[in-house]
Structure 1
Amino acid sequence: MHFKTAWAIFITSVSAFLVFGSPGPEASSAVSCPDIAVVQERLSNAFQGRNVTAKAIEPSPVSGLCQVHVRVNEKSQILYTDPSGRYLILGQILDAQEKKNLTRARLEEFNRLTAQDKEALDDLVAFTLGPATAPHTVYFVTDPQCPYCKRAETTLEAMASEGVLQVRYVLYPLPMHPGARESCIALVCDKKGHDDFKKNYKSDNQCPEGTNKIDATMKFMQAHGINGTPTYIFSDGTFRSGVMDRSALENKLKAQ
């Protein structure tokens, strides 16, 4: 496979290695992983011209493989290598028996927000939906023009109306959506809430308070490798991008 093609697969995470059965704790304990400097050299040789940095290496859940935490243009990813560091394996490990994506679970741990990060995130909330007394809270990173966000909101709105979830909206206009930034700033400046957001509220009010909040939101998200919407940020500091159905969302909330 050409390296350019392989890299595209790596970035979009569309390839996968299926693991049939639970790997167990003994699976990862015996493997000796290569030095991180060796892996960095392999990455630099394989992906010349790419800003790829190996941050950490450890045994994977599967015997004989090591998992490498890498940063790609400020975004975290996981790849796998053999004990010699010669082979780089791009994709995800799925535990078919437990029905769990092991790569995603570990990546969530790598990306987990700190207590200080969560304090900063609170300052970025534009408005909330659902009672403050709800047993669960989620930060919902959204763009007013994002079609997938509207699908995600159907579940969030239902759970908020039932009183089981408070949704804290964080407005993150994507550059690809003309006018989204101005809409987000106007919502903050005019102190509008969920109902106006749903109605695609617009105004010419581009006050400094709104501009600063949206700029701070974009800086925060980019610093943590969050490049798309919708993204759910949970109270334990982990986050997940893409639409989650109710079952997946409830399971994640219960696991915190």
Structure 2
Amino acid sequence: MSATDRMRRLGAVARSAPAILAVGALGIAGIALAADAARVDETQVVSLLKTRLPKTELTKVDCKKIDGLCEVTAGSNLFYVNHGSRYLIIGRVYDMETRQDLTAARLLEINPDMLVGGAARANAAADEAGSPDAGIAGVASGAKKVTVPAKPAALNLTSLPADGAIVWGNRSAKHTVTVFTDFRCSYCRALTNVLRSMEVKVVERPISVLGSRDIADRVYCSKNQEEALHAAYAGEPFKAPSPCNTAGLDANEKFARKHGLNGTPIIVRSDGEVIEGYRPKEFLEAWLKGATS
């Protein structure tokens, strides 16, 4: 290689060096930003919120649940802010991988009595106007409290046939819970996810409140009912089964009409005690332990 060629090659390397350094700098900057996001100081977020929303009594700030956002609860109200606490966000957050409405599920944990007929008015704040610091009430609550119609305090399930029940969970568990559900009810799906995380035997009895009988038939007739049930709630396809005898599902519907169960989910403990609507894991675990023999 001639001296001239060597000089040209060295010049090319020298010219490319800034670009290489720039790429490296960008990579380091990206790592630093990611690390900075991971180290978000919730105490600082709380401090900024107290300054910017002095009339709002904060209950909890959680910056770890959702990337880039801090979930803020203030009593029975829920909203979000960015890590710098500059932007306040009132609305729903959906997880597109799990197909879950994270806001609705969280609101039901905070306000378990906000259900009516299985249709919670979660996050109605998106349609409302108001000052972001009017205690956040009525704006960031994401829900309107409603009066729940009277339902039986207890149910005797002995008249129901074994057919029509989809049994899943831990079949040898100490506690058994019966749930009347609808496959198009998002709060039934949320409840199912909670029950999956518990040591409990679940006897699920689908009823068609929201026009889901076709789904219930397919799940019930599936070879693996439990697998089909979870696929149906997740909105995932499952193999279409051959038709089967669904008289048990008819019995579920008849029982629900007779006892005024016109909403879902309805949860029945082994001793017959009834609660309506979604409940968080901690509540259900304590409630199940209170069953009388």
Normalising by structure 1, report the TM-score: 0.49
Q: Which protein has the larger Cα radius of gyration, Structure 1 or Structure 2?
A: 2
Q: Which structure carries more strand by proportion?
A: 1
Normalising by structure 2, report the TM-score: 0.43
